[in-house]
């Protein structure tokens, strides 16, 4: 959730940006200027941008602030001084309480005052020891040391590209002189269209650009191509298997028709219930194609060998076997929808929807098609 909130940000605040490697810093700065002209680009950074601008004005402001801290007397922060002042105040309070107890006409009240004096004695002993110093260190630490470090940080020197810290400079400049350019998008990259447009526009300037946006677009393209390859391969191989099994185009079409219908209904339900394809659940459609075809094969095969009393295919043991087999598959795959992992959960949800629609099409649509074929054959 936190990462999604970061993704809602555009520009330099976004955690997703494109990296381009230029042969030198001059080429990197030139590429940066070209990238800033693109409508999809909000910001671009090179090693030059790590050097602060308007340093004279900023250093002047920090020096004025440092002068304010110099006015603080560190001797006022000394624990020893504070303890000494507290002991003097406690001693004066004890003397006042003792005098007041002697003058008191009420014995119980005088006794309570003398009890307070004894407690103040215990407090004085604690203040003379290390207890207060330990407590102070644990609560506020070394304030004087922190102020000293703060004064030093308020007295900076001018920064140049040569004086950048090595760990920072090495992120933007390679030892052989190559320079890195970071390019940030103008729009929210959670939107897939914005992501593709941003990557495409940057790649017009730097075809070898890399970074998370480029990787995601490449993953998406590879996944789509793999999905189409798997789906087409499954359709062709299953069709060849059915053709070899029956050598009958009608029987092959009878098996494939409800299966194709169930896949179309599954994709429709994804749109209806707003279950988008992702890198995990994209395998569902080819998977359902392979899982659902066996039910159609059994039902078509039973219809050819049905006895006279098996006029209704749904009353046969084959139909019941198809139903219970699909039910166990539905339960096993549907349990994945309870997973805390969003990808696995969407995979289980989509498989469960697909299995329900597959068994409905096989047990309702396929018997109706078979009956229709029989009627036409008899006529």
- Residuewise pLDDT in 10s, the chain (379 residues): 788 787 787 777 888 899 999 999 999 999 999 999 999 999 999 998 888 877 778 777 777 777 666 655 555 555 566 667 777 777 888 888 888 777 777 777 778 878 887 887 777 776 655 565 665 666 556 666 776 777 777 777 777 777 788 888 888 999 999 999 999 999 888 888 999 999 999 999 999 999 999 999 999 899 889 989 988 998 999 999 888 888 888 889 999 999 999 999 999 998 888 888 888 888 888 888 888 898 999 998 888 776 655 567 888 888 999 999 989 988 988 898 898 888 888 888 899 999 999 999 999 999 989 888 876 666 5
pLDDT value of residue 179: 94
pLDDT value of residue 362: 92
Prediction pTM value: 0.61
- Under a CB-based contact definition with an 8 Å cutoff, are residues 133 and 79 in contact? yes
């Amino acid at each position: 959730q936190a990462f999604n909130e970061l993704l809602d940000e555009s520009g330099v605040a976004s955690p997703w940006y494109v990296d381009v490697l230029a042969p030198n810093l001059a080429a990197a700065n030139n590429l940066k200027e070209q990238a800033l002209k693109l409508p999809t680009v909000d910001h671009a950074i090179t090693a030059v941008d790590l050097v602060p601008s308007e340093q004279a004005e900023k250093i002047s402001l920090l020096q004025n602030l440092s002068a304010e801290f110099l006015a603080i007397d560190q001797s006022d922060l000394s624990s020893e001084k504070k303890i000494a002042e507290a002991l003097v105040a406690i001693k004066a309070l004890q003397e006042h309480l003792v005098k007041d107890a002697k003058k008191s006409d009420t014995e119980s009240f005088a006794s309570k005052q003398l009890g307070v004096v004894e407690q103040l004695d215990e407090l004085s002993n604690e203040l003379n020891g290390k207890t207060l110093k330990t407590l102070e260190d644990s609560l506020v630490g070394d304030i004087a040391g922190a102020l000293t470090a703060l004064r030093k940080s308020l007295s900076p020197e001018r920064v140049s590209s040569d004086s950048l810290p090595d760990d920072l400079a090495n992120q933007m400049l390679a030892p052989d002189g190559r320079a890195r350019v970071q390019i940030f998008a103008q729009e929210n990259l959670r939107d897939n269209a914005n992501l593709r447009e941003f990557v495409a526009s940057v790649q017009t300037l730097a075809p070898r650009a890399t970074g998370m946006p480029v990787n995601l677009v490449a993953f998406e393209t590879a996944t789509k191509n793999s999905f189409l390859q798997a789906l087409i391969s499954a359709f062709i191989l299953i069709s060849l298997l059915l053709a070899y099994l029956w050598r009958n185009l009608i029987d092959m079409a009878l098996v494939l028709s409800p299966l194709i219908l169930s896949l179309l209904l599954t994709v429709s339900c994804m749109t209806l219930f707003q279950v988008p394809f992702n890198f995990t659940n994209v395998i569902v459609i080819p998977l359902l194609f392979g899982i659902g075809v066996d039910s159609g094969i059994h039902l078509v095969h039973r219809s050819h060998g049905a006895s006279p009393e098996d006029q209704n295919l749904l009353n046969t043991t084959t139909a019941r076997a198809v139903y219970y087999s699909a039910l166990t598959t539905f339960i096993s795959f549907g349990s994945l929808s309870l997973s805390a992992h969003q990808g696995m959960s969407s995979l289980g949800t989509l498989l469960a929807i697909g299995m329900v629609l597959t068994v409905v099409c096989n047990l309702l649509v396929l018997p109706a098609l078979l009956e229709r074929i029989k009627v036409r054959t008899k006529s």
